[in-house]
Amino acid sequence: MKLIYGAAIKHALRDVSPISVAVAYVGIDWATYIETSTLKEIVLSPTIGSNPVAIVQLVAKLGWENIYFLDNLHSKVYIGATQAAVGSFNLTANGLSAVGLHEAGYLISEPEELDKLKALVGEYKALAAAAYPTEFLKSERLTELRALWDRSIKTGAIRNDSTSGNVLDYVPTLGDPDVYVCCTWGDMMYSDQVVSTSTINQSLSFLDIDEIKPDRWILCWSAREDGYPNKRYDPYWLHIDEVVKNGAIDTQYTRIAIERNDRLFLNYPFELTPPTVEALRAVLSSGEFPEFLGDKEPWSVNDTLPRLPEFFEKVRQSLRADILNTASGSGMPEPITNEKALRQLFKSRVETATDLAVEKGYVKRTIHNMLQDTHAVELAKKLVIAPDLKSGLKQLKKANALDLSFECIMLEPQFSPLFSKEQLECAQWNLERV
């Protein structure tokens, strides 16, 4: 048994290469602190200390069957093949960055003690399985946690430490949805139930019977007269800060969802990149989801709710097919784990982010020339180990757009096979410095 504390904890966890983890809280940067390739299962507390985006990433990696929810869990246990770490440190930056909180614990390699820890985690798993026995219940709890986090970020109660992800990593909930998909129509007139129209950033009207709730997102898209996507208008996000009954007049769509302009910024569930938008339009135009089309009168979001998980899975399938076809140069499918396809996906993500950053004036156009001369993966490796902190990263920080940086994209768990541990640590260090 060996005492570990401070910066030594992070290095010890890397050496442990955890297979099984039981921690109270999981942070957005969980993948930077452990060897993700060995992780097989995790028990965690689905309460406000755990970032729902991190849970979504874990579900995408491990599957719901290997995620266990235990509300009152407070232990911190990391078990590898030959050793384990226990102590006060959660799988978060607060617990493992060696900055701010003072953490300590022990590194254990004695076989008898390892067996005891495995048995303990087994007990946690049994309790968790009794509390949340089905994927549906775990998914419902994740929706509640997402709503709580969104509300807390919007009101400034907690810091927004996440970034908008990729639709390939988005995990739709099975019951109460956290994202609605709605076609949009004309302007509305507000009733006197809307107290202050000056605080409205965006709004959308619904039937009075529509089951829309606050602290959810609406993926809004514009429909042609025939109900299919209008490509002249890009989809956009609307966050529901409040729902007002009888908030609109002179229309049958009297229930309105309002996004306020006096709340803090909240990251989107996933980025609406050009490839994602094309995949979204392709699925809407496929004829497989007539409930979503805008040719119904009246149109009701309730009809779409049971099919939302299937809808998003189709969007992901469409996007994967486009990526793989581009990567392979043919229509023959390849495994998503294929390095060539993964490199192409990273290149697409970087190019999309760079285009937006240049368009907004956050970075200079010279980055385009660099991407033409060097593949995005190799360029990322060079940029993150540069001794000086690039001005572009500082500008992205000022614009609250770090999600467009090479570093943030590199640290998405799906791209970890493309980079060494040292390169990923450099990316994390750059973000911490800025």
Give the containing element (helix H, strand E) for 243: strand 242-244
Q: Which two tokens stand for residue 334?
A: 């390849």
Q: Is residue 321 domain-resident?
A: no
Q: Say whether both 403 and 303 belong to one domain.
A: no
Domain end (from 110, 131, 154)? 154
Specify the pLDDT at position 263. 84
Residues 385 and 259 in one domain: no
Could you tell me if residue 287 is inside a domain?
A: yes
**All residues at 6 or more sequence positions from 338 whose CB lies less than 8 Å from its CB, including other chains:** 327
Residue 24 located in a structural domain: yes
pLDDT in tens, the chain (434 residues): 899 888 888 888 888 999 999 999 998 888 888 888 899 999 999 999 999 888 988 988 888 999 999 999 999 999 999 999 999 988 887 767 656 678 899 999 999 999 999 999 999 999 999 999 999 999 999 989 988 988 888 888 887 766 677 888 787 877 788 899 999 977 789 999 988 888 999 999 999 999 999 999 999 999 988 899 998 889 999 999 999 999 998 889 999 999 998 888 888 888 898 889 999 999 999 989 999 999 888 999 999 999 999 999 999 888 887 766 655 554 444 444 467 778 878 888 888 788 777 777 777 777 777 887 788 888 888 888 765 556 678 888 887 778 888 888 998 887 888 888 888 888 888 888 87
> Do 150 and 174 belong together in one domain?
no
Scanning 18-96, the segments in alpha helix (DSSP H) are 52-62, 93-96
pTM: 0.65
Q: Is residue 283 part of a domain?
A: yes
Mark whether 253 and 119 lie in a shared domain: no
CB atoms within 10 A of CB 27: 24
Same domain? For 263 and 303 the reply is yes
Strand 67-69 with 41-44, pairing: parallel
Tokens encoding 167: 């639709």
Quote the pLDDT of residue 293.
Answer: 94
Q: How many CB atoms lie within 10 A of CB 406?
A: 27
In-domain check, residue 319: no
Please give the C-alpha separations between residue 337 and each of 45, 202, 424, in angstroms, as whole numbers.
Answer: 30, 40, 19
The answer to whether 52 and 145 are in contact (CB under 8 A) is yes
- What is residue 403's predicted lDDT score, i.e. its pLDDT? 80
Q: Using an 8 Å Cβ cutoff, are 236 and 277 in contact?
A: no
Would you state the pLDDT for residue 325? 63
Same domain, 83 and 175: no
Same domain, 306 and 342: no
DSSP conformation letters of 393-419:
HHHHHHTT-GGGSHHHHHTSGGGGGGS
Give the closest residue to 77 by CA, choosing from 32, 41, 130: 41
Establish if 60 belongs to a structural domain: yes
Secondary structure of 333-368 as H, E, C letters: CCCCCCHHHHHHHHHHHHHHHHHHHHHCCCCCCHHH
Residues 203 and 307 grouped into a single domain: yes
Q: What is the pLDDT of residue 97?
A: 63
Tell me, rounded to whole angstroms, the distance of Cα 101 from its chain centroid.
Answer: 26
Residue 24 near residue 73 (C-beta atoms within 8 A): yes
| CA–CA gap between residue 430 and residue 247 (Å, rounded) | 47
Same domain, 147 and 216: no
Residue 358 has φ and ψ, to the nearest 5°, of: -70, -45
Nearby residues of 256 by Cβ (< 8 Å), 6 or more positions away: 188, 190, 194, 203, 204, 205, 206, 243, 244, 247, 248
Q: Which residues form the domain of 89?
A: 2-154
Out of 123, 154, 185, a domain closes at: 154
Q: Helices then strands (H, E): number in the chain?
A: 13, 15
**Rounded to whole angstroms, how far apart are CA atoms 87 and 106?**
6
Give the contacts of 245 (CB within 8 A, at least 6 positions apart). 193, 208, 254, 255
User: Where does a domain end: 106, 125, 154?
Assistant: 154
Cβ atoms within 10 Å, residue 99: 10
Could you tell me where the beta strands, DSSP code E, fall in 51-112? Answer: 67-69, 76-79, 84-87, 104-108
H helices of 40-193, in order, are 52-62, 93-96, 111-131, 135-154
Q: Per the structure block, which two tokens stand in for 191? A: 């009733």
Classify residue 100: in a domain, yes or no.
yes
Which pLDDT belongs to residue 330? 46
- Indicate the SS3 state at residue 200: strand
Per-residue confidence (pLDDT) for residue 332, from 0 to 100: 41
- Output the domain CATH number for residue 59: 3.30.870.10
- Are both 118 and 181 inside the same structural domain? no
Q: How many domains does the chain have?
A: 3
By the 8 A CB rule, do 318 and 282 touch? Answer: yes
CA distance 345 to 227: 31
In a domain, 306, yes or no: yes
- Assess whether 149 and 7 both reside in one domain: yes
Residues 345, 304, single domain; the answer is no
